[in-house]
Each structure stands twice: as structure tokens, then as C-alpha cells.
Amino acid sequence: MIKEMPGVSIIVGCFMQEKYLEQAYWSAVNQDYDGPLQVYINHDGCDTGKNTSASKARNRAISYEAVHDWIICLDADDLLPSNYVTTLMDHLVSDTYNITNGIAGCPVQFISGRNLARFGNVDADTYYLSDFTTEVPPIPSSALFHRIAWSEVNGYDESLRSMEDFDFWYKLLSREGAAYFHTKDTCLLKNNDGNGKVHRTPQRVRQATIQHMNKMYGLTLEAPQVIQ
């Protein structure tokens, strides 16, 4: 008897990124996943005249719109490979670890007229909380996580206007969780250009992340120098 794969809800945010929304939506719809799949467009923040924070928009969508327990929050300027959900879910459900504590993702490739280095040094297959002492795990915003884990850490921190993803991953790893990586698959991240958001190189993203984590959790991670 073939075991049915768990359902996955992909929440596509359009927080001031409407120009990319259609591409992100179809990359989510065209997944080759055999299990139940929901793709929900989160309209909170689409109207820049009354936008809310990304954290609040995600929390609302997970609370009231997501119909499945496995969640992916996909930013409108991200594109998912067609095998993204299948690859990540296959790894989590086949692991003997408590999968509700698991996070699954893959490296990020920046695109938009120029190919930049992948974000972070993804040398390990698995990251734990202890890895935060020397390295910020480069977990993408579109990583896969479980609703139970999200609920137990009270979701995304709605007081944050940036770096909410890494704050969320840190809290999940604090639950004795683990983050799994698949280095052969790539989540494509398109640079924002045209909506007022500054181009962020991997070095700039990493520096801002480390500064936030040090301030929020009393860590002493060393921020890299930004290459101009």
C-alpha cells in the first residue's frame, strides 16, 4: 500500500513585490509533488498604501488560510524548482528524527542579469542550534517547516521589520530542531529592482543577519566585511 504524502501549503507573499508575483505563483503551482498541495496568494501587503509587516502577513495566512500542516512561505521574488517540495518532503518523512522539529531547504542562487555566489557556505547537510555559535545557517525564507513548530514558537516575530526569517529559524532550532539542506537543488532568488528596495549581495544579507542575531540573542558572531 502506497503511503500518501503529507499535504503542503505554499503561501505566496506579495509584500511590495507584485511585479514578480505571477512567476512565483506558477513556480509553486507547477510542482511535481504527489501529495496534496495548496497554493495561497497572501494579499496582505499587496496594497502598499496599507501594507502590513511580512511577519504579520505570514502569521495570519498560516493561522486562517493554510489547510495543510507543512508550510512554505514563498516570497514573490523567489522561484521554486519543480522538484522543490518533493525533494524536501521526501527527506523529512524518511528521517527517523522527530520531523515536526525539522526544517528543510536548499542553497540560494541570486539571479537578475548577474549570477552571484550562493548565499553562505553550505558545506554541511544538517545544521543545529550549536552551529549558530560560529556560523549563521543560510536557511532560505522558502524553507519547509511544520505548523506545530511554528505554533510552539509563537510564529514569526511581528515586531521585526527585517530579518524575521532568520529569527524564526533560530527559534525553531532552539526546539532541538535541525535544518536539512539539499545542495544539488537551488531555490532561485531574484533581486528586487524597481520597488525601491536596495540590491542586497550575499555579503550584505549575511552582515545584517549576524548583527540582528547578536543583538537579539546575545551571540558573538563575527560579521563579514561587505565587499563594495
> Mind listing the pLDDT tens digit for each residue in 153-184?
999 999 887 778 888 988 888 887 778 776 66
Residue 132's Cα: distance from chain center in Å?
Answer: 17
Sign of the alpha-carbon dihedral angle for 152, 155, 156, 157: negative
Residue 78's Cα: distance from chain center in Å?
Answer: 10
Quick one: pLDDT band at residue 81, thresholds 50, 70, 90?
Answer: confident
Quick one: pLDDT band at residue 113, thresholds 50, 70, 90?
Answer: very low
Cell numbers 505566496: residue? 12
Distances in Å between the alpha carbon of 186 and those of 37, 60, 149? 20, 28, 24
Residues in the chain: 228
pLDDT above 90 covers a percentage of the chain that reads 25
When the pLDDT of each residue in the chain is averaged and rounded to a whole number, the result is 76
* pLDDT per position as a tens digit, 52-71: 688 999 999 999 999 999 99
Q: Name the residue with higher pLDDT: 193 or 87.
A: 87
Highest mean pLDDT (candidates 2-16, 150-164, 186-200) = 150-164
Give the DSSP letter of residue 198. Answer: P
pTM: 0.82
Looking at the predicted structure, is the pLDDT value of residue 32 above 90? yes
Q: Name the residue with higher pLDDT: 30 or 49.
A: 30
Distances in Å between the alpha carbon of 155 and those of 46, 104, 111, 219? 21, 17, 29, 21
pLDDT for 66 equals: 96
pLDDT for 120 equals: 41
Query: What are the structural domains, with CATH classification, of the chain?
Result: 8-192 (3.90.550.10)
Enumerate the H helices of the chain as residue ranges: 21-29, 54-64, 84-94, 147-152, 164-173, 202-217
pLDDT for 150 equals: 94
pLDDT for 97 equals: 47
Question: Number of C-alpha atoms within 13 angstroms, CB side, residue 37?
Answer: 22
